[in-house]
Amino acid sequence: MVRIIVLFVVIVVIAMVVLGVARMIRSFSAPEPVDSPREILRRRYAAGEIDEDEYLRRMSGLSQEW
């Protein structure tokens, strides 16, 4: 009975280590995408944070090359 419990605990610990390592590898290999300024502006307009005039003014500013 004790051997079964110890075996179960060892299996759980090994599984936790494997899952932790897999999660770390995934977090290093797939950085979160960075939104472009245009996408941020579109979201703010869609959410109602800015009005149409502000949206168009800022979009035209983004399209100009400096």
Q: What is the mean pLDDT of residues 1-30?
A: 91
Report the distance separating Cα 59 and Cα 39, nearest Å: 10
| Predicted confidence (pLDDT) per residue in 22-50, tens digit | 998 887 776 667 788 999 999 999 999 99
Neighbouring CB atoms inside 10 A of 62's CB total 10
Lowest average pLDDT, out of 1-10, 26-35, 36-45, 56-65, goes to 26-35
> DSSP assignment of 2-63, as one string?
HHHHHHHHHHHHHHHHHHHHHHHHHHHHSPPPPPPHHHHHHHHHHTTSS-HHHHHHHHHHHH
pLDDT at 1: 87
